[in-house]
Amino acid sequence: MKIIVLTGGTSPEREISLRSGKAITNGLRANGHDVTPIDPAFGVNQPKTEEELFTFDPLENRISNENYIKCIDSNLFDGCDMVFIALHGKWGEDGTVQSLLELKGLRYTGSGVLSSSVAIDKSMTKILFQHYHVKTPKWITINSHGFEPTAIEERVLKIIGLPFIVKPNDQGSTVGFSLVKNIDELEPAIRFALKFSERALIEEYIQGREITASILGKQVLPIVEVKPKHELYDYECKYTKGMTEYLCPAPLDETIVKHVDHQALLAYESCECKAFARVDFILNEQNELYCLEVNTIPGMTDLSLVPMAAKAAGMDFPTLVQRIIDLSIQS
């Protein structure tokens, strides 16, 4: 097949997307596919070499959101059989690129426009979780269009209480993320989150074990437990070797494993996800399970959780990316 891997992009997760895109490109080539990596943020003026394309430059000034349209509307996609989307966060995981690809008549991997846009919206996802009886931490959202700190403090303390998490409503990879233990920290945490989104999510902090369930089609892969060196599984712990211990399969009682699998599939289906996704949970000391979010385009780097879970299921990386292609064609 002639496959284009969309990687990079303009979101705060650009660096991780490039790492995912490189791994996916290599994995697909190992399967014998004709693969071309493309960064839509460059438009039609793609880097001259793959080495340049996959090199992250935080000062890059040639990228823009407008270039996405120019790129996908160009002849770069001529003869393409499938687009493997490796764009994380906004303008890649949120239905935007999926819409452009559908207008172009191109097949792509993963979830569709609606499920992508719903799943990246953490507040909307939680509303669906409640409807489908997937337990999730208490939350409220704050709009960027002016807010009164004192009124918000009272509301947060009444509905959620201390401590709590503040994060952008539609970002991933713990971008703009804060743990607030003192109410005086609330306003700066909100302002930090609002640098990355028009809405901030304030969420009840559940202390416990961080676990994640990866799904391929309707198959839940072995559960991964994440044990970061920091208090929370933050950006540094996620993407720096040695900063996190991973247990896969997670050492959980079989009854809990079945419950996690069931809740993961419920969360996945509540957002009408397709082909693959990753569902994140916290398991507290009373073995109560709380679902945090659904990731429709999870990381595919050497430290990422989906490849780790697939490996525990006896699936190497080339087999995993081929399975995603196959499931995307079937869905």
User: pLDDT in tens for each of the 331 residues of the chain?
Assistant: 999 999 999 999 999 999 999 999 999 999 999 999 999 999 999 999 999 999 999 889 999 999 999 999 999 999 999 999 999 998 999 999 999 999 999 999 999 999 999 999 999 999 999 999 999 999 999 987 767 777 888 899 999 999 999 999 998 757 889 999 999 999 999 999 999 999 999 999 999 999 999 999 999 999 999 998 776 676 676 667 778 899 999 999 999 999 999 999 999 999 999 999 999 999 999 999 999 999 999 999 877 999 999 999 999 999 999 999 999 999 8
139-204 folds as Dna Ligase; domain 1 (3.30.1490)
Enter the tokens of residue 168: 């952008």
Query: What are the Cα distances from residue 319, in Å, to 30, 129, 132, 256?
Result: 9, 31, 32, 28
Q: What residue ranges of the chain are covered by domains with CATH 3.40.50.20?
A: 2-108
CA gap 126, 123 in Å, rounded: 5
Percent of the chain scored above 70 by pLDDT? 97
> Which CATH number is 119-135+208-330's, of 3.30.465.10, 3.10.310.30, 3.50.50.60, 3.30.470.20?
3.30.470.20
In tens, the pLDDT along 77-113 reads 999 999 999 999 989 999 999 999 999 999 999 999 9
Q: Which CATH class is domain 2-108?
A: alpha beta
Q: What residue ranges of the chain are covered by domains with CATH 3.30.1490.20?
A: 139-204
* Residues identified as active-site: 13, 173, 239, 278, 280, 293, 295, 299
Q: Give the count of beta carbons closer than 10 Å to the beta carbon of residue 183.
A: 17
Q: How many CA atoms lie within 13 A of 11 on its CB side?
A: 27
User: In which residue are the tokens 């690129």 written?
Assistant: 97
Q: What residue ranges of the chain are covered by domains with CATH 3.30.470.20?
A: 119-135+208-330
> What pLDDT score does 86 carry?
98
Q: Phi, psi at residue 173, to the nearest 5°?
A: 55, 30
Q: What pTM value is reported for the model?
A: 0.94
Enter the tokens of residue 220: 């839940």
Contact at 8 Å (CB) between 94 and 88? no
Spell out the residues 6+ positions from residue 235 whose beta carbon is closer than 8 angstroms to its own: 173, 174, 175, 177
